[in-house]
A and B are shown apart, each in its own frame.
Chain A
Amino acid sequence: MIELRDVAKRFGEQVVLDGVDFTVADGETVALLGPSGTGKSVLLKHIIGLIKPDRGSVIVDGLDVPRLRRNELRQLRYRIGYVFQNGALFDSMNVFENVRLGISDTDKFDDLAYSRDAVTRCIRLVNLAPETIEKYPAELSGGMRKRVGIARAIVGEPDYLLYDEPTSGLDPVNADIIDDLVKQLDKELGVTSVMVTHDVRGAFRVADRLALLSEGKIVMQGTQQEFLASDSPKVREFLERDFQNATLPEA
């Protein structure tokens, strides 16, 4: 379970998070929505301990993340897969080496046969050809890089998956492929997921629950139906902007 209580963060004069309360139950997939620049990625980085809050607590599986010791944080990170916005693949390594870095168990990492097998399995799981593992990030398209990023996040068999804008910058077809992939992985791996996005349509397709972050606060958390029924001006404004040209599933 992931729980953020009264989390506040500012960078210089700019207040990014201002008392955020946010909860994700085990096995759930929650989409964190919000316009660009509202601190969604900052919130996600708090969960994995890449950023420490100025105030409040970040609890993952009962562990207070900002107060964890170095080694405890490392152990926790082994259980969390993080998919970065642009893949954040290491340019100097090929896809195999990139994905292999996600294997947290040292013995398994050192076992080349296991590594090759695990990497190939994950590459197939994200719908990439096995030959991709020999390629370098510069030889991949944006969508492929994101999928390699997902493969790297899942190869360590994490309990949690955090996606930072997995569909941003992609055309609608590729965005749908990634959304389907997120849905499929959540089902097959049974992980708890948080997906940061400003793509409402994708969030409705993938998430069990949604949360809207605006002006440093969670304005609303709830199901798709609750969001659609909401008369909060901020919620309506955000949904209507994205829904004008979109088709809602079951809505």
Chain B
Amino acid sequence: MPPSPQRFDLRRSIGRIVLGALAHVGRFSMLVVEFFRGLKEPKIWVPRAMDEAWNIGIGSLFIVLLVSAFAGAVTALQAGYQFQGNLPWFVVGTLVTQSIVLELGPVLTGLILAGRIGARYAAEIGTMRVTEQIDALESLGRSPASHLLVPRVVAGLVMVPVLVIFADVIGVAMGWFSARQVMPLTDADFAYGAQAYYRPFDAYYSLIKAFFFAGAITFIPCYMGFNTSQGAEGVGRSTTGAVVSASVLILLLDTLLAQLLLTV
């Protein structure tokens, strides 16, 4: 008698998904606890965090500046196209500054780093997991958190906001430069527009976003790396998962922070 085809059980499937999600939440919470425990060993994580900070900062500076420069230029050119004859030119200054500082600077930097740094962290830690290097650390009585997690997260929390500052400055500068090339706009017009609706909180908001994005860019890939299994295929899966999850979380945080901090 042929085996009867297994029937799809909706309740069982939902139960499995819920349990899987709860397991992730539990493991992620444990990783966060380990992070705070690991902070107690600065002698171990500070030198490593310096190396990581250098890698994130110097290694990512060129691509971050390149993308933000193009974002600033395109924003200015599109603003000029849309407002031509409808609004005064100084509005271009307002739009470029606000778009870059409030949104494009931090979000584009976050997404670039999710790919560049997130993929690297997940692959590095994942490879260490499948080659038993993390087990080796534990067997030596050493904390994987203070050796691997804390340096990466701290470096990210420090360097991502720094990169966002650079991205904001270059984005606005490039928008200004581009606007002047193709529009009858003076420096005074652009400066006036940039300052007209600018509030000091805008810069803080950009940095607050950068700080939260840094958490997503570092914690999620490290989590994926620590929970890697099944060899090279598992490392590949963790790396892809880390980039996708960190990117999605950045977009979710972007919406959430706008709702929390910008709603009047």
Interface string of A59-90 (1 = CB under 8 A from B): 00000000000000011011010101110111
B136 close to A88 (CB less than 8 A): yes
- Give A156 to B139 CA distance when docked, in angstroms: 12
A84 close to B136 (CB less than 8 A): yes
A78 close to B135 (CB less than 8 A): no
Q: Which residues does chain A contribute within 8 Å of B136, judged by CB atoms?
A: 82, 84, 88-90, 152
A104 close to B140 (CB less than 8 A): yes
Q: Which residues does chain B contribute within 8 Å of A88, judged by CB atoms?
A: 131-133, 135-136
Q: Which residues does chain A contribute within 8 Å of B140, judged by CB atoms?
A: 77, 82, 101-102, 104, 152, 156
**Residues of A at under 8 Å CB distance from B?**
45, 48, 50, 74-75, 77-78, 80, 82, 84-86, 88-91, 101-102, 104, 152, 156
A50 close to B135 (CB less than 8 A): yes
A85 close to B141 (CB less than 8 A): no
B141 close to A74 (CB less than 8 A): yes
Interface string of B111-140 (1 = CB under 8 A from A): 000000000000000001001110111111
B133 close to A78 (CB less than 8 A): no
**Residues of B at under 8 Å CB distance from A?**
128, 131-133, 135-142
A50 close to B131 (CB less than 8 A): no
B132 close to A84 (CB less than 8 A): yes
- Give A80 to B136 CA distance when docked, in angstroms: 12
- Give A102 to B140 CA distance when docked, in angstroms: 6
For A79, the closest partner residue in chain B by CB is B141
A104 close to B141 (CB less than 8 A): yes
Q: Which residues does chain A contribute within 8 Å of B128, judged by CB atoms?
A: 90
Cβ contact of B142, chosen from A84, A85, A89, A101, cutoff 8 A: A101
- Give A75 to B141 CA distance when docked, in angstroms: 7
Q: Which 10 A-B pairs have the closest CB atoms?
A: A88-B136, A77-B141, A82-B139, A88-B132, A74-B141, A78-B141, A84-B132, A88-B133, A48-B139, A50-B135
- Give A89 to B140 CA distance when docked, in angstroms: 12
B133 close to A89 (CB less than 8 A): yes
Shortest Cβ distance from residue B208 to the other chain A in the assembled complex, whole angstroms: 33
Q: Which residues does chain A contribute within 8 Å of B138, judged by CB atoms?
A: 50, 77
For A101, the closest partner residue in chain B by CB is B140
Q: Which residues does chain A contribute within 8 Å of B131, judged by CB atoms?
A: 86, 88
- Give A104 to B142 CA distance when docked, in angstroms: 9
